[in-house]
Amino acid sequence: MQPLANPPTGRCLPCDWQRRTARDFAEVLRYLAEDLCPEADRLVLVTDNLDTHEIGCLYEMLPPDRALAIAERLEWHYTPKHGSWLNVAEVELAALTKQCLGRRLGSLPELRRQVEAWADDRNERAIEVKWRFATPDTRIRLRSLYPSIQE
């Protein structure tokens, strides 16, 4: 289970896939583009650098014209390596782990029920990630990623 977070609305959607394959990720993108947000002109994604998180996954799963229609609507941003704390989905996953998964759940159906109940509660209360990381902090915290200018 991995949350798909929508920060502007404070909503999350638990994505239920058994593996982390390109086909699984493509199905999430298809669901997002065609079922969840069919009228959206642009879908902004912030993902980590997992090798399955790339546009080619759509072409592995869908006919080329359908894959292209989805791909043209995606604006993709990757979090820096070693920067998972920047990924809102990772923040949601940490909350899910702490608030819901800190106990033994005896079966996959029970896991699904518990995660759905957790997500429903968060969505009903419109829990948002409160971003407190300002641009000046970026240069300090991520200094190893920025080139230094030598005179």
Q: Is residue 151 part of a domain?
A: no
Q: Which residue matches tokens 């014209």?
A: 65
Q: How much is the average pLDDT of 122-143?
A: 72
For 39, the token pair is: 């009228």
- pLDDT of 2 higher than 60: no
Higher pLDDT, 112 or 41: 41
For 3, the token pair is: 């949350």
Q: How much is the average pLDDT of 74-100?
A: 74
Domain around 43: 2-145
Beta strand 2-6 with 74-78 is unpaired
Q: Is residue 150 part of a domain?
A: no
Q: Is residue 120 part of a domain?
A: yes
- pLDDT of 145 higher than 80: no
Q: Is residue 128 part of a domain?
A: yes
By three-state DSSP, how is residue 46 classified? Answer: strand
User: pLDDT tier at 115 (50, 70, 90 boundaries)?
Assistant: confident
- Cβ count within 10 A of residue 53: 16
Q: Please, what is the average pLDDT of the chain?
A: 78
Instruction: List helix spans (H) across the chain.
Output: 22-30, 56-61, 64-71, 88-99, 108-124, 135-141
pLDDT digits (tens, 9 = 90+) for 45-83: 877 777 677 888 999 999 999 999 999 999 987 777 666
Q: How far, in whole angstroms, is CA 82 from its chain's centroid?
A: 16
Q: Is residue 118 part of a domain?
A: yes
The total domain count for the chain is 1
**pTM (predicted TM-score):** 0.62
Q: Give residue 82's region: left, alpha or beta (phi > 0; psi -120 to 50).
A: left
